[in-house]
Amino acid sequence: MTKKKPAIVKRFDDYFGAGTLEDWQRLCGDVGLSEDFGSKTKCRKALKRVHVNIHDLLSAIENGHAVHRFRNVRELAEYSVREGKIYPKRWVKDGPIKALLRCIA
């Protein structure tokens, strides 16, 4: 029996798309990275240095706002726990979500 995909997982999957280089580059641009990344690997490495709440990332994109970036993992963790905005770890696969996900416990 498979469990129904949580709404946040579906929202991210819908936003990200098929995972082409262009999808990765769009994500990098959406989180405020202005460098021209020529490969998925370069995008992935750059995203590992960015601290964003995935719920807020999607809301900002959907509403045409800038994405809030936290200065460090601690600030992201405190905010995410306080607001109850946690991406379900069991749904993490390799790819952009893994590059963005931080251990906040």
| pLDDT(28) > 80 | yes
Residue 42 — very low, low, confident or very high, per pLDDT cuts 50/70/90? Answer: very high
Query: Are 47 and 28 within 8 A, CB to CB?
Result: yes
Instruction: Annotate 28-52 with DSSP letters as a single string.
Output: HHHTT--S---SHHHHHHHHTT---
Residue 2 — very low, low, confident or very high, per pLDDT cuts 50/70/90? Answer: low
Question: Of 6, 102, 3, 7, whose CA–CA distance to 59 is shortest?
Answer: 7
| pLDDT(1) > 70 | no
Which token pair is 100? 């963005």
Looking at residue 77, what is its pLDDT?
97
